[in-house]
Structure 1
Amino acid sequence: MEEHFVWVTTRRIRPGALEEFERAWRPDPSPQGMRRAFAYWSEDAQEVTGVSFWDSKEACDSWRTSESEAQRRANMAAYVVEEREGFYRGRELAVPQR
């Protein structure tokens, strides 16, 4: 099975700030080595979880320490109340057919 490298970040944001947060959140330029990215919002629009898939841990680490990522985090800072993140390795689980 193919192994995946995943960076997950969950942020609690200020009430009513989702639209502004989304504008600040998008990376520019697109990170080298990132294969796919997803964002998920809680029903109250105050918690956002980002999930990104990477070629390797090194590619993710390179982005995380880049000037572009530092600028992106500075742009988001006004909207973020709390942040948690982690890097994971894993694989897709087979779901039994019914």
Structure 2
Amino acid sequence: MVEHFVWVTTRRIRPGALEAFERAWRPDQYPQALRRAYAYWSEDGQEITGVSFWDTKEACDSWRASAVETQRREAMAPYVVEEQEGFYRGRELGVGPA
């Protein structure tokens, strides 16, 4: 079983702010321990869920405490109404015929 370390963040943003929020959301640099990242948004463009896969929880925690991440969060702040996040461990589920 391959285990994944996943950080999930869901943000509700101000109406009409999706384009500006997306510009602020992208970091200037990406951490080496980040393996994959996905973004999903609601039809109305007011809720964004980011899912990122990391080598370890410690690598994710280190990134979250970094100056680059602090600057990124400050840039997003004017557009964010509400934010929820969590860190998870899990694995891919096999679906369909094997």
The TM-score, its normalising length taken from structure 1, stands at 0.97
Answer yes or no: is the 8 Å Cα contact 1:32–1:63 preserved in 2: no
TM-score (norm 2): 0.97
Number of residue pairs the alignment of both structures matches = 98
Unaligned runs of 5+ in 2: none
Describe how 1:1-98 pairs up with structure 2 within 5 A.
1-97=1-97
Q: Secondary structure at the match of 1:32?
A: coil
Task: Give the drift of 1:96.
Answer: 2.6
2:43 counterpart SS class:
coil
> What SS class does the counterpart of residue 60 from structure 2 fall into?
helix
**Runs of at least 4 residues of structure 1 off by over 6 A?**
none
| CA distance, structure 1, for counterparts of residue 22 and residue 96 of structure 2 | 36
**Partner of 1:60: helix, strand, or coil?**
helix
1:51 alignment partner AA: V
Following superposition, the deviation at residue 24 of structure 1 comes to 0.1
The residue identity in structure 2 corresponding to 1:76 is M
Q: C-alpha distance in 2, partners of 1:30/1:89? A: 21
| Deviation at residue 32 of structure 1 after TM alignment | 2.6
Structure 1 gaps, min length 5: none
Q: Which amino acid counterpart does residue 59 of structure 1 have in structure 2?
A: A
Q: 1:28 Cα deviation (Å)?
A: 1.5
- C-alpha root-mean-square deviation of aligned residues, in Å? 1.1
Describe the SS at the equivalent of 2:72: helix
